[in-house]
């Protein structure tokens, strides 16, 4: 029943998409109608309790549907969504939830696919824009080195004030320079209830001037308060084949970056007026042998009001006797209570033909007590079994001890079914 | 519910002017880089010819330095230890290379606007991803939120925050 209701609501919104698809199917010659369909169903059952010992048993059904290779691969349709029905909740109001995550038609009118359009509900990744929209986006690679993308539509957001008179537009122009650099300039503007809500510009960069070094970065600017929102840069040096050194730098101005938030926790009243964070440090990744990798890291967090903190430690990843394992130990040394703790984690994964087992343990030890508790941990054990190439089962048990839950146990079951068919 | 503004107040900017600035910058870049007109076509395949089941190190197979994909060397895309921290940069510059291996559902497994199940719950069989949201996250989120709220904001700042509002009104 819920599935029918979900489909019904989707059909109303996306009638236009499928109308267009049907129209295209009529236009396409019959001999081009080879369609590959990939359908994945994922069913999840979670058994858990809350801090008041109320039991919950939410059942989730996820689907992913891809129709590809239509008209020699120039057209494809993609859709995904989920619904939840709680079998044992104390609140009937929140028993059912669903989401159409994406449903879009992808068109490539040119045979070299240098021009593509996406129509429907989809994600746009384009410089400053990482947005989910109901609308249209297009990418045109004018030459192999120059591209332009545009998008427009209704932003998909939590429906806290309705979606009337909401819209979003933007785009990005990009230029590659002889496989040594890529530069993008992007723009985004959105309206909420016909009022200017966001207006952002950004410069994204990739530089690889020499074989032993590359740089990724993004700077974004808030046009509404005329301040830089964020600078985020990540450099990688490759001095040896088995060694990567990655310094990083970022600065975020909370007031500009969290402009027009819908959540009080991101406002200056909560985070502090004129607060910002400057982060620098880096990672070293050293493949000591073919089965052992060490990743020491150090990050300095500098705040205007919260003081400074240093996060440092290391991860070790190793593969011995077919067991993929990891050990991690980190220390956060800050000025305030919540930034003084030691974090440890260990995991191991072993695969036996069709059976895969994973164990994972996390421990957090705080310098000062929270609700009378300094040491908290989370243990997880998971088993996955491949019944066939297309069907597998997973069972997982999780146990946690935190200041919020003296003891919290949850169980999780998952069934995944993949279906491929070419018509 | 009305939107909450920050203390800086709104100033409507002249966006047509700024758009013109972007276009001018593009033209300048293009003039500086005439090689764009004569560059060789690079074909990005629709899908990877061999199915990959584990996190790949692209350079295990693509070893030639001059080999590129999306204009970048293969080592850029090696899914090594810190890749999850860097993946945003590659998505921002166009997700065509990502789509060789990943379907949209791979992104929405974490980046969805109403998602309830934590990725670490759905994929607890893959602890090697070092995913942050564990079963104890109802407690540890206040720590992560204090350290760097800009990591929380993209997913919870304007969307997917109905649960947050149960406590953070």
pLDDT value at A43 more than 90: yes
A150 occurs within a structural domain: yes
pLDDT at B124: 92
Please judge whether B71 and A223 are an interchain contact, meaning their C-beta atoms are less than 8 angstroms apart.
Answer: no
Binned at pLDDT 50, 70 and 90, residue B29 comes out as: low
Domain boundaries defined on chain B: 55-102, 113-169
B146 near A CB under 8 A: yes
A23/chain B closest Cα distance in angstroms: 24
The model's pLDDT over B46-70, given as tens digits with 9 standing for 90+, comes to 888 888 877 788 888 888 877 888 8
B63/chain A closest Cα distance in angstroms: 11
Please judge whether A283 and B81 are an interchain contact, meaning their C-beta atoms are less than 8 angstroms apart.
Answer: yes
A164 occurs within a structural domain: yes
A89 occurs within a structural domain: no
Name which of B129, B128, B121, B56 is nearest A349 in CA terms: B128
A147 near B CB under 8 A: yes
**Own/partner long-range contacts of A392-399 (Cβ < 8 Å, ≥24 apart):** A392/A416, A394/B124, A394/B125, A396/B121, A396/B124, A396/B125, A398/B121, A398/B124, A398/B135
A246 occurs within a structural domain: no
In A, minimum Cα distance to B90 occurs at A216
Binned at pLDDT 50, 70 and 90, residue B12 comes out as: very low
Binned at pLDDT 50, 70 and 90, residue B2 comes out as: very low
Query: What's the structural domain count of chain A?
Result: 1
Q: Where are the alpha helices (DSSP H) in A184-278?
A: 254-257, 268-271
Question: Distances in Å between the alpha carbon of A332 and those of A341, B23, B136, B149?
Answer: 5, 45, 18, 16
Span A389-415, mean pLDDT?
88
Please judge whether A173 and B168 are an interchain contact, meaning their C-beta atoms are less than 8 angstroms apart.
Answer: no
pLDDT value at A177 more than 60: yes
Q: Are A135 and A39 in contact (CB under 8 A)?
A: no
Which residue range(s) make up the domain with A125? Answer: 108-210
Span B40-47, mean pLDDT?
73
Of A223, A378, A401, the CB nearest to B13: A223
A153 occurs within a structural domain: yes
Structure tokens that stand for B118 in this block: 């934590």
A60 near B CB under 8 A: yes
A145 occurs within a structural domain: yes
Q: Are A133 and A151 in contact (CB under 8 A)?
A: yes
pLDDT value at B135 more than 50: yes
């Amino acid at each position: 029943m819920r599935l029918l209701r979900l489909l019904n609501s989707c059909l109303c919104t996306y009638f236009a998409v499928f109308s267009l698809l049907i129209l295209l199917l009529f236009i396409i010659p019959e001999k081009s109608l080879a369609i590959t369909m990939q359908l994945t169903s994922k069913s999840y059952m979670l058994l858990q309790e809350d801090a008041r010992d109320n039991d919950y048993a939410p059942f989730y059904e996820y689907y992913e549907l891809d129709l590809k290779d239509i008209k020699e691969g120039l057209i494809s349709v993609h859709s995904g969504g989920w619904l939840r029905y709680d079998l044992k909740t104390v609140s009937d109001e929140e028993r059912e939830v669903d989401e159409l995550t994406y449903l879009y038609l992808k068109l490539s009118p040119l045979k070299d696919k240098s021009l593509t359009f996406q129509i429907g509900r989809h994600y746009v990744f384009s410089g400053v824009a990482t947005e989910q929209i109901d609308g249209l986006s297009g990418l045109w690679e004018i030459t192999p080195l120059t591209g332009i993308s545009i998008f427009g539509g209704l932003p998909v957001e939590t429906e806290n004030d309705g979606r009337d008179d909401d819209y979003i537009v933007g785009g990005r122009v990009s230029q590659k320079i002889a496989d040594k650099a890529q530069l993008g300039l992007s723009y985004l503007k959105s309206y909420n209830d016909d009022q200017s809500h966001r207006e952002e510009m950004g410069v994204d960069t990739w530089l690889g001037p020499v074989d032993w070094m590359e740089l990724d970065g993004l700077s974004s600017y808030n046009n509404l308060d005329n301040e830089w929102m964020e600078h985020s840069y990540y450099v990688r040096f490759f001095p040896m084949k088995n060694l990567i050194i990655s310094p990083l730098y970022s600065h975020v101005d909370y007031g500009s970056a969290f402009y027009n938030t819908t959540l009080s926790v991101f406002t200056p009243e909560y985070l502090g007026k004129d607060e910002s964070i400057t982060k620098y440090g880096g990672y070293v990744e050293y493949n000591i042998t073919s089965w052992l990798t060490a990743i020491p890291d150090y990050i300095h967090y500098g705040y205007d009001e919260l003081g400074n903190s240093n996060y440092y430690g290391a991860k070790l990843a190793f593969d011995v006797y077919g067991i993929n394992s990891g050990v991690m130990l980190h220390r956060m040394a800050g000025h305030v209570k919540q930034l003084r703790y030691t974090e440890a984690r260990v995991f191991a994964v072993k695969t036996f033909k069709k059976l895969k087992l994973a164990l994972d343990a996390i421990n957090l030890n705080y310098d000062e007590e929270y609700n009378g508790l300094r040491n908290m941990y989370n243990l997880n054990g998971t088993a996955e079994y491949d019944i066939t190439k297309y069907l597998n089962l997973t069972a997982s048990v999780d146990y946690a001890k935190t200041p919020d839950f003296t003891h919290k146990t949850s169980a999780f079951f998952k069934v995944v079914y993949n279906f491929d068919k070419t018509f | 519910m009305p939107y909450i503004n920050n203390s800086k107040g709104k100033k409507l900017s002249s966006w047509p002017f700024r758009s013109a600035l972007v276009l001018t910058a593009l033209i300048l870049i293009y003039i500086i880089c005439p090689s764009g007109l004569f560059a060789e076509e690079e074909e990005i395949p629709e899908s990877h010819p061999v199915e990959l089941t584990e996190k790949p190190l692209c350079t295990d197979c693509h070893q030639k330095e001059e080999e590129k994909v999306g204009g970048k060397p293969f080592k850029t895309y090696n899914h090594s230890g810190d890749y999850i921290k860097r993946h945003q940069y590659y998505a921002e510059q166009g997700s065509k290379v990502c789509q060789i291996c990943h379907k949209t559902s791979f992104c929405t497994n974490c980046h969805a606007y109403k998602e309830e199940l934590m990725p670490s719950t759905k994929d607890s069989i893959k602890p090697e991803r070092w995913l942050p949201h564990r079963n104890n996250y109802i407690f540890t989120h206040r720590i992560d939120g204090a350290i760097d709220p800009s990591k929380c904001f993209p997913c919870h700042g304007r969307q997917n925050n109905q649960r947050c509002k149960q406590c953070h009104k």
